[in-house]
Structure 1
Amino acid sequence: MRGIVLLAHGSRDERWREPIEAVAARVLQDDPAAHVVCAYMELATPDLHSAASGLIADGATAIRVVPLFLGMGKHAREDLPLQLDALRKAWPQVVFSLARIVGEEPELVELLARISAKS
């Protein structure tokens, strides 16, 4: 089974989670068999390790981490590679892959441009 972790920055404000959880809900709407969870770098739970642990307990043998960041900041550039290395050491039998940060995806750039240009 393949799991998906939607990884975002995190916030103490509970409302901040709503758009992240909406993405997870949309993934499930498009594929009801998907195994998708949200995780946060800081200020919210679960963290990446806990999210991966839950997916693995449910039978995941591969996990794709999708960073929901607009830019290549410190978390994506420095913290995330270290966390992935730790996951790979903790679960060497699981294949962990890292998607590009969403802000680098041409589809998102196009969408943001269209939204920005609305009158």
Structure 2
Amino acid sequence: MKAIILFGHGARDSRWREPFDRLADLWRAQHPDVLIELAFLEMMQPSLPEAVASLVGRGVTHITVVPVFFGQGGHLRNDFPALLSSCQEQYPQIVLNATGAVGEDLSVLQAIIDFGARAL
């Protein structure tokens, strides 16, 4: 069974999470056969290890983590690989991989440009 984790930074203000919840809801509507979890680096729950544990507990064997960041800053270069490695060590029986930051994808950048163009 496959699953996806949308991984964000986290914030003190709970409203910051609302777009992530909408993304997860959109995923569920469009891909009901693939489980999704949210995870956050700090200040919000669940953490990445908690989200991985939840999915493994539900029988998932392949997890793809999608960092919902605009670029490869220190968190994605340093903190994220260490977290991912720790999760893989804890669950060696699963396949755990990650994509690049969403903000580095040309189609995401184009969607932002299109959004701006519609605002004119």
TM class by shorter chain equals over 0.9
- Which AA in structure 2 matches 1:45? Q
- Which AA in structure 1 matches 2:69? F
Aligned to 2:23: 23
Aligned to 2:80: 80
CA–CA distance in structure 2, aligned partners of residues 22 and 37 of structure 1: 12
1:43 equivalent in alignment to 2:43: yes
Deviation digits for residues 33-61 of structure 1, max 9, x if unmatched? 22001010001010000000000000011
Runs of 4+ off more than 3 Å: none
Matched residues, number: 119
Structure 2 runs not aligned, ≥5 long = none
CA–CA distance in structure 1, aligned partners of residues 98 and 33 of structure 2: 21
Aligned to 1:59: 59
Deviation digits for residues 10-41 of structure 1, max 9, x if unmatched? 01111111101111111111011220010100
Structure 1 runs not aligned, ≥5 long = none
TM-score normalized by structure 2?
0.96
Aligned to 1:4: 4
